[in-house]
Amino acid sequence: MHASRDTANSASRALLLQTASEIMRDGDIVDVSLSELSQRSGLNSALVKYHFGNKAGLLSALLDRDWRTIVDSVDALVARDGWSPEAKLRRHISKVIDTFYAVPYLNQLTMRMVRDSDEAEAKRIADSYLSPLYRAYEDLIGQGVAAGAFRPIDPQMFYFTLTGAVDRFFSARLVLRHCFGQDTLTEDLRDRYREHTIDIVMAGILAKPGAEKDKAE
DSSP codes of every residue in 101-145: HH-TTHHHHHHHHHHHS-HHHHHHHIIIIIHHHHHHHHHHHHHHH
| Alpha-carbon separation of residue 109 from 13, 145, 195 (angstroms) | 19, 33, 26
Question: In the predicted model, is pLDDT for residue 1 greater than 60?
Answer: no
CB atoms closer than 10 angstroms to residue 186: 10
Percentage of residues of the chain with pLDDT beyond 90 = 57
> Can you tell me the distance from the alpha carbon of 66 to that of 106, in angstroms, rounded to the nearest whole number?
7
The 8-class DSSP code of residue 1 comes to: -
CA–chain centroid gap for 94, Å, is 11
Helix and strand numbers, DSSP H then E, in the chain: 12, 0
Average pLDDT over residues 139-157: 95
Domain locations along the chain: 55-208
Residue 177 clears pLDDT 90, i.e. is over it: no
CATH code matching the domain that covers 55-208, chosen among 3.20.20.140, 1.10.357.10, 1.10.3720.10, 2.60.200.30: 1.10.357.10
* C-beta of residue 151 within 8 angstroms of C-beta of residue 206: yes
Report which of residues 82 and 167 the model is more confident about: 82
Kindly report the backbone phi and psi dihedral angles of residue 206, in degrees, each rounded to the nearest multiple of 5, phi listed first: -65, 140
Nearest to 102 by CA among 20, 170, 46, 44: 170
Q: 97-138: per-residue pLDDT in tens?
A: 998 888 988 988 999 999 998 999 999 999 999 899 899 999
Above 60 in pLDDT, residue 63? yes
- CB atoms inside a 10 Å sphere around CB 46: 10
Query: Which stretch of 50-64, 142-156, 169-183 has the lowest confidence by average pLDDT?
Result: 169-183
Residue 171 has pLDDT above 80, yes or no: no
End-to-end CA distance of the chain: 76
